Amino acid sequence: MSSTSSEPCLALVDCNNFYVSCERVFRPDLAKVPVAVLSNNDGCVIARSEEVKQLGVAMGTPYFQCGPELRRAGAVVFSSNYPLYGDFSQRVMQTLEAQCPRVERYSIDEAFVEIPGSEQTEREAFARQLRERVLRDTGIPVSIGLAPTKVLAKLANRQAKRRKEAAGIWSMPDDPEIRQQQLSVTPLTDIWGIGRRWARRLETEGWQNAADLAAADPAMIRLVANVVLQRIALELRGEPCLSLEETSPPPRSLVRSRSFGQPLYQLTELRPALGRYLQRGWEHLRRHHLRASGIQVFLHTSRFHREVRYFGSRQAVIEPTDDLWELQRCAFALLQQAYRSGVAYTRCGVMLFGLEPDQPSWNMDTAWQPRAELQQAITGLQQRWGRNVLQLAHTLTAAKGLPLQQHRSPRYTTQWSELPVIGLH
DNA sequence: TCTGGGGTCCTAGGACCC
DNA sequence: TCTGGGGTCCTAGGACCC
């Protein structure tokens, strides 16, 4: 077995139980206590501490089902606090970028990084140092999986988390036989990019685990499935097909939507809710100097009830704009078209698509000038005082559609008024 | 009673053009 | 009025991810 290899080495750095870890940074008293974080509207469990996993509470379990059990176990439960998690994510990523030659921010709690060094021991030492650094600088524990490709790094990360003796760092073995052995006990659904559907499909073709897929003829996989699966199979063999993307292309669309705290029936109740989501989307446009050339509005009933079901949506292509009032006029018109009366709506939302960079306003109609200045003023005030300093009045009129958030922790790092207070005793 | 939100990529099929 | 094949673009829907 060679401990030196010329293969480039990637690593997947993944924050452990990320949202829970964020909550614990400011609540060290919860270090050994079962902790769970709920989705918006306090609907499902979306992050679990080790203790909660031990209880057997699965990811995505509705809170109303596992709530009693969590209470019996003395668990502490939080509503999700995205400003806090976003801020911690930023800190973790910046720490990685300061230490690693190349970094791809993959999600709020994961990054692919390039690991320097030609020997496994050297790389693992680097990874170990990186792990300690992130923990020291941010308070967030991470796991690191090392491998020559992204798909293998994902699997290595799983082992880093699973194996106690790994202490958060695990390398995919270089030796082909040992690696094959490892892959042969890896079910298809553990592979990044293969969900339940594809796993079933591949099994009927005779591929039962990751080793089978790695050994299969790539052309055959292309034939049976598609190029995505073919690339995954090649990556399982150690042939890189997915490169490290340090810069991501700007998003082409954005969605803002929420479930309501209680069902809504009337257009007059839906408009303020939609107005709030639209305003969030508009803020994104302004922050990133974008305009939208299309808008879609959707609203629907609960997926979980048998009574009247309805999923309505309407869209329109529009002149590229970042004007809040114009967007709102379109959104409300579309809402009106998609709306059916007598239906219990549990969620609505708006999608802005065809996003493009804001052009200098060479064609600015003078009639629009005051409105552009007004928008500029709003953006300025929001940047200085926070987004809630100014909102369209009608969005405040009905609090009915507001989602439940009964367990939210303070926004320790993003609101002056919610800074943690350290007392001397 | 109570079940999240925000994305990407690929494919198939239709419209249209040369 | 008859005749063919191939390319591009767009959209809807499926699958997957965190």
Of A420 and A333, the one with more pLDDT: A333
Q: For A305-326, what is the mean pLDDT?
A: 86
Give yes or no: residues A153 and A13 share one domain: yes
Q: Is residue A348 located within the same domain as residue A259?
A: yes
Answer for the pair A159, A166: CB distance below 8 angstroms, yes or no: yes
Residue (of A180, A92, A103, A102) closest to A136 by Cα position:
A92
Give A193 CA → C15 C1' in Å: 9
Q: Which of residues 303-362 of A touch strand B (CB under 7 A)?
A: 304-305, 346-347, 349
Same domain, A161 and A264: no
Helix orientation angle between A227-236 and A150-162, rounded to the nearest 10 degrees: 60
**CA–CA separation, A41 and A302 (whole Å):** 14
A259 and A165 in a common domain = no
Does A298 share its domain with A161?
Answer: no
- Position A403 scores a pLDDT of 76
A 10 A CB-CB count for A92 gives: 26
Q: What is the pLDDT of residues A182-209, one digit of tens each?
A: 999 999 999 999 999 999 999 999 999 9
Has residue A391 been placed in a domain?
A: yes
Domain presence at residue A414: no
**Can you give the pLDDT at residue A81?**
94
pLDDT at A1: 42
Q: Rounded to two decimals, what is the model's pTM? A: 0.92
pLDDT at A398 (0 to 100): 55
Kindly state whether residues A167 and A269 are assigned to the same domain: no
**Could you check: is the Cβ of residue A154 within 7 Å of any atom of nucleic acid strand C?**
yes
d(CA A367, CA A10): 54
pLDDT digits (tens, 9 = 90+) for A366-412: 666 778 888 888 888 887 877 777 777 777 665 566 777 888 888 88
Contacts of A396 (CB under 8 A, 6+ apart): A272
Point out the domain boundary residue: A174, A207, A232: A174
pLDDT (0 to 100) of residue A131: 98
Tokens of A92: 């973790």
Domain count, chain A: 2
Subset of residues 272-291 in chain A with CB less than 7 angstroms from any atom in strand B = 277, 280, 284
At A3, is the pLDDT very low, low, confident or very high (cuts 50, 70, 90)? very low
The tens digit of pLDDT for each residue in A218-270 reads 988 988 889 999 999 999 999 999 999 998 888 888 999 999 988 999 999 99
For chain A, what is the mean pLDDT? Answer: 90
Asked if the structure places residue A407 within a domain, the reply is no
Domain co-membership, A162 together with A285: no
| CA of A276, C1' of B11: distance in angstroms | 35
Residue A393 belongs to a domain: yes
Work out the average pLDDT over A8-32. Answer: 96
Read off the CATH number of the domain in which A392 is found. 3.30.1490.100
For A217 and B10, how far is CA from C1' in angstroms?
Answer: 21
Position A275 scores a pLDDT of: 93
CA at A207, C1' at C9: how many angstroms apart?
Answer: 37
| A381: its two tokens | 């005030």
Residues A146 and A2 occupy one common structural domain: yes
Q: What share of chain A is helix, strand, coil (3-state, %, to 5)?
A: 45, 20, 35
Question: What's A55's domain CATH number?
Answer: 3.30.70.270
**A112 assigned to some structural domain:** yes
Residue A213, in any domain of the structure: no
**β-sheet with A169-171: strand ranges across:** A103-107, A110-114, A10-15, A142-147, A169-171
Domain stops at, among A139, A174, A209: A174
DSSP assignment letter at A174: S
Contact A143, A156 (CB under 8 A): no
Q: Residue A384: which domain range? A: 253-401
Residue A248 lies in a domain: no
